[in-house]
């Protein structure tokens, strides 16, 4: 390792008792196909809270360093990471949710690597970006151009939130000029979803709770804001927000709560698509079979995106079309960020500065 790489670093570690503590731990050494990244900023995704709560039916690593929106600079690389592979020391890169996949299963071969049964997940099955130095797989890191002076704090949320909603909007099959409803629009994924949808030429109907989220959604491009805490008939309000009253063509369900998953088939337009993205613990999607059949409604899941989706999601950011409302705080303040997230108080995305 180069001499300027320290031997120890600060990290937020979840221990076996489920408690998260800021600790001093060794700087990891990259394996042959890995790189070592000096993480400067890391976004905080609601998935990180699911990891802390351990509330998904998916086993995670313990002890765990969470985080999967890590943006930083490559400081070392393994022996098999060849020059010309697009990752060299000094490059700006990002740690996404997908840490590695097998490359040879039927899904990997079709660029559906998120479905790979051998996928390793950053900040979940392997240590992630809530640390100052993290290893990542050279084949799966996201790349930011250094020559464009990319602000890595603003770029970090694209690595999961941006990628996920960009891909989800494509999955909704909504076309320019049509309507899309973003549920959980004031949060991390929702803020970016509103902007990607607007940039794609879609009309945006935002749903979230409280006036602060409403103000943010409107600022980011939502034409109508429906406050789920106030609405007496949410289905009617969403349908009324479309010009012909028939409801939105696409729905992105981003809220980490079950109820919206029961409401969406009520207001989606006939032949429209409901895309499930938020993952409330233990929740079920339910809908009347009769309506689903005779109104020909599609319901599907969407899970992050592939590496080409990442390139495109970053390109929207580089063109200035999307930028999450970001609040930068020290990595030591992660506990407080999770408290705010539990209470639905996060507007946009918190990003951790790993130096403090
Ligand atoms: N499918 C994927 O690939 C993928 C990727 C990333 C995150 N996620 C999941 O998406 C969810 C959201 O993540 P986030 O980081 O944006 O969370 P967040 O906490 O930043 O935002 C969630 C928003 O939902 C709002 N909300 C809560 N109840 C609501 C309701 N009944 N109706 C409308 N809005 C409501 C909250 O007020 C908040 O603004 C999490 O469950 C996360 O695990 C999924
Ligand atoms: Zn995430
Ligand atoms: Zn595979």
Cβ-based neighbours of 175, under 8 Å, separated by 6 or more: 202, 249
HSE-CB at 95 with a 13 A cutoff on CA atoms is 40
Tokens standing for residue 233: 């008939």
Q: Whose CA is nearest to atom 38 of ligand 1?
A: 187
Lowest mean pLDDT among 262-266, 284-288, 302-306: 284-288
Alpha-carbon distances of 199 from 185, 226, 238, rounded to whole Å: 15, 21, 21
Averaged over 10-34, what is the pLDDT?
Answer: 96
CA of 117 to the centre of ligand 3 (A): 6
Please give all residues whose beta carbon lies within 6 A of any atom in ligand 1, as ranges. 45-47, 50, 160, 164, 183-184, 186-190, 207-209, 213, 228, 254-257, 259-260, 277-279, 302-304, 341, 344, 346
Q: Whose CA is nearest to atom 27 of ligand 1?
A: 255
Question: Which of 47, 167, 341 best tests ligand 1's pocket when mutated (most atoms within 8 Å of CB)?
Answer: 47
What integer pLDDT is reported at residue 2 of this predicted model?
56
Tokens standing for residue 340: 């705010």
Averaged over 247-270, what is the pLDDT?
Answer: 97
CA of 110 to the centre of ligand 2 (A): 23
Asked whether residue 258 carries a pLDDT value surpassing 80, the answer given is yes
CA of 241 to the centre of ligand 2 (A): 29
Residues paired with 72 in a beta bridge: 39, 93
Alpha-carbon distances of 128 from 43, 73, 348, rounded to whole Å: 11, 15, 21
- Looking at this predicted complex, what is its ipTM? 0.99
Residues paired with 35 in a beta bridge: 77, 136
Q: List pLDDT tens digits, range 229-251.
A: 999 999 999 999 999 999 999 99
**How would DSSP label each residue in 113-127?**
GGG-TT-EEBTTTB-
Strand, helix or coil for residue 129:
coil
Give the integer Cα–Cα distance in Å for 134 and 127.
Answer: 8
Q: What percent of the chain has pLDDT over 90?
A: 95
* Mean pLDDT over each residue of the chain, to the nearest integer: 96
Asked whether residue 287 carries a pLDDT value surpassing 60, the answer given is yes
CA of 4 to the centre of ligand 3 (A): 36
What integer pLDDT is reported at residue 27 of this predicted model?
98
Alpha-carbon distances of 266 from 78, 170, 237, 248, 321, rounded to whole Å: 52, 22, 11, 11, 31
The structure's pTM equals 0.97
Asked whether residue 82 carries a pLDDT value surpassing 90, the answer given is no
What integer pLDDT is reported at residue 85 of this predicted model?
74
Asked whether residue 144 carries a pLDDT value surpassing 60, the answer given is yes
Which atom of ligand 1 sits closest to the CA of residue 183?
Answer: 33
Closest CA to 134 of 32, 248, 42, 243: 42
Q: Contact 148/91 with Cβ under 8 angstroms?
A: no
Averaged over 271-288, what is the pLDDT?
Answer: 95
What integer pLDDT is reported at residue 3 of this predicted model?
54
Residue 24 parent element (H or E): strand 20-26
Asked whether residue 72 carries a pLDDT value surpassing 60, the answer given is yes
Span between the terminal Cα atoms of the chain, in Å: 24
Tokens standing for residue 275: 């895309």
Q: How confident is the model at residue 84 (pLDDT cuts 50, 70, 90)?
A: confident
Averaged over 140-162, what is the pLDDT?
Answer: 95
Which atom of ligand 1 sits closest to the CA of residue 349?
Answer: 20
HSE-CB at 250 with a 13 A cutoff on CA atoms is 30
Which atom of ligand 1 sits closest to the CA of residue 301?
Answer: 1
What integer pLDDT is reported at residue 148 of this predicted model?
85
Q: Which 8-state DSSP code applies to residue 137? A: E
Ligand that comes closest to the CA of residue 70: 2
Give the integer Cα–Cα distance in Å for 12 and 248.
Answer: 41
Tokens standing for residue 35: 């790189």
CA of 177 to the centre of ligand 3 (A): 37
Strand, helix or coil for residue 181:
strand
Q: List pLDDT tens digits, range 308-351.
A: 999 999 999 999 999 999 999 999 999 999 999 999 999 999 99
CA of 305 to the centre of ligand 3 (A): 14
CA 252 to chain centre: 13
What integer pLDDT is reported at residue 63 of this predicted model?
97
Averaged over 260-271, what is the pLDDT?
Answer: 96
């Amino acid at each position: 390792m180069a001499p300027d790489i320290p031997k120890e670093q600060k990290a937020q570690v979840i221990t076996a008792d489920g408690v998260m503590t800021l600790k001093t731990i060794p700087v990891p050494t990259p394996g042959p196909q890995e790189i070592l990244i000096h993480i400067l900023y890391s976004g905080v995704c609601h998935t990180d809270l699911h990891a802390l709560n351990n509330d998904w039916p998916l086993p995670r690593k313990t002890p765990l360093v969470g985080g999967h929106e890590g943006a930083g600079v490559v400081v070392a690389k393994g022996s098999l990471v060849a020059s010309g592979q697009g990752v060299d020391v000094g490059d700006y890169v990002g740690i996404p949710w997908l840490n590695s996949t097998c490359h040879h299963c039927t899904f990997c071969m079709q660029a559906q690597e998120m479905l790979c049964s051998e996928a390793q997940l950053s900040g979940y099955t392997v240590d992630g970006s809530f640390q100052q130095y993290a290893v990542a797989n050279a084949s799966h890191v996201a790349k930011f151009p250094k020559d464009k002076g990319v602000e890595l704090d603003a770029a970090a949320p694209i690595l999961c939130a941006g990628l996920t909603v960009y891909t989800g909007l494509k999955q909704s099959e909504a076309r320019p000029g049509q309507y899309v409803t973003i549920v959980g629009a004031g949060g991390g994924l929702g803020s970016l979803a509103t902007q990607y949808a607007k940039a794609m030429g879609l009309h945006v109907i935002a749903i979230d709770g409280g006036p602060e989220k409403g103000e943010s959604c409107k600022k980011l491009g939502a034409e109508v804001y429906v406050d789920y805490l106030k609405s007496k008939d949410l289905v009617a309000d969403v349908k009324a927000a479309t010009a012909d009253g028939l409801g939105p063509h696409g729905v992105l369900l981003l809220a980490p709560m079950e109820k919206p998953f029961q409401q969406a088939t009520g207001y989606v337009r006939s032949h429209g698509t409901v895309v499930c993205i938020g993952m409330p613990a233990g929740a079920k999607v339910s809908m009347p079979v009769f309506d689903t059949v005779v109104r020909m409604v599609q319901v599907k899941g969407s899970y992050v995106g592939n590496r080409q989706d990442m390139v495109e999601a970053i390109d929207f950011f580089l063109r200035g079309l999307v930028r999450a409302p970001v609040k930068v705080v020290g990595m030591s303040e992660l506990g407080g960020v999770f408290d705010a997230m539990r209470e639905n108080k996060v507007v946009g995305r918190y990003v951790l500065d790993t130096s403090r």
